[in-house]
Amino acid sequence: MMFLLVFDFDHTIIDDNSDTWIVNCAPGRKLPNVLQNSYERGKWTEYMGRVFRYLGDQGIREDEMKGMMTAIPFTTGMHELLNFVSQRKDMFDCIIISDSNTMFINWILRSANFQGVFDKIFTNPAAFDDFGYLAVQNFHTHQCPECPPNLCKRKVLEQFIGVQLQNGVQYTKIVYVGDGRNDLCPVKSLKPNDVTMPREGYALHKRISQMSPAFASLQSYVVIWSTGFEILSYLKLLIEDNVKTIEKSENKPEKIAYI
């Protein structure tokens, strides 16, 4: 048995949005209105590029940004969950697919000593240039009409699964943990044996609850979580092969469970 855990990052592993948190580095902890209003739909990465240029112009350098980012709190129970996963790497492959960037995610994971938990991190590449400015690029291009132009998480997931198959790794079950609108496209590609884990009350949960009938376009099972402890409980059942006790339990609408 080998399970694949797929994690979103913002509002999933950490309990905030790294791209909006960085604004705390700006003078007065806010951006000028002109900059703030310059976001165009679907062009988030370009917008963040302008934010980073502004911060660079204000003399904000790498150390200050890193200190700010590593202060973002983890979601409750995530430390425990990731520690558990790191001890069971014999059963869990673990990846992140995120619309944040490599710099932020690496800072945050390294400072919490979690970089070894993840086999791969798929996110927008970022680096500091010779003048000390952070620059970010789109992760890839794709044809998916549902996703922002820089990232379709479904394409990333399908490519990863394809590469793993070529390496002889076939997953017993995929468990996808996320909260956001851009997590909807990938979870729609999951199979009946897989599990979608939306964060309770967040956009992904709302979107799939509003399907008519609820969860209709999902083949996968759905398990709702609000802390990492609940995900941890579910993974323990998975590796004990006791998960059917949840999936078969009565008195719940459709294929959905609260732990």
Q: Which does 8 bind (CB under 5 to 8 A by kind): Mg ion, Zn ion, none?
A: Mg ion
Binder of Mg ion out of 3, 5, 6, 11 (CB under 5 A): 11
Count of residues interacting with Zn ion (CB under 5 A): 6
Q: Does 144 bind Zn ion (CB under 5 A)?
A: yes
Tell me, yes or no, if 241 is annotated catalytic: no
When CB distances to Mg ion are compared, the closest residue is 180
Q: Binding to Zn ion by residue 146, rule CB under 5 A?
A: yes
Q: Return the one option of Mg ion, Zn ion, none that residue 154 interacts with (CB less than 5 to 8 A, by type).
A: Zn ion
Exposed / middle / buried, residue 156 (Cβ in 10 Å: 0-12, 13-18, 19+): buried
Work out how close the CB of 199 gets to Zn ion at its nearest, in angstroms, rounded to a whole number.
Answer: 19
d(CA 17, CA 36): 16
Binding segment toward Mg ion, per CB under 5 A, in 107-115, 132-140, 174-182, 246-254: 174-182
Residue 179 interacting with Mg ion (CB under 5 A): yes
- For the record, the structure tokens of 87 come out as 């001890």
Residue 144 touches which of Zn ion, Mg ion, none (CB < 5 to 8 A by kind)? Zn ion
Angle at 133 between CA 128 and CA 135, to 5 degrees: 60
Return the residue of 13, 94, 185, 197 that touches Zn ion, per CB under 5 A.
185
Task: Name every residue whose Cβ is closer than 8 Å to that of residue 123 and which is 6 or more positions away in sequence.
Answer: 9, 96, 97, 98, 99, 100, 101, 102, 105, 139
Give the residue carrying structure tokens 């609940």: 230
173 binds, among Mg ion, Zn ion, none (CB under 5 to 8 A by kind): none
Residue 230 interacts with Mg ion (CB under 5 A): yes or no: no
Q: In whole angstroms, what is the distance from residue 85 CA to residue 82 CA? A: 5
Q: Is 205 in the site for Zn ion (CB under 5 A)?
A: no
Helical H runs in the chain?
18-21, 33-36, 44-57, 62-69, 78-87, 102-111, 153-166, 184-187, 203-210, 228-239, 244-247
Which are the contacts of 45, defined by CB distance < 8 A and separation ≥ 6?
A: 99, 124, 136, 137, 138, 150
Q: Is 10 a catalytic residue?
A: yes
Considering the rule CB under 5 A, would residue 10 count as an interface residue with Mg ion?
A: yes
Neighbouring CB atoms inside 10 A of 87's CB total 11
Which residue stretch of 7-15, 56-64, 218-226, 239-247 sits at the interface with Mg ion (rule: CB under 5 A)?
Answer: 7-15
Interface residues toward Mg ion, by CB under 5 A? 8, 10-11, 179-180
Interface residues toward Zn ion, by CB under 5 A? 144, 146-147, 152, 154, 185
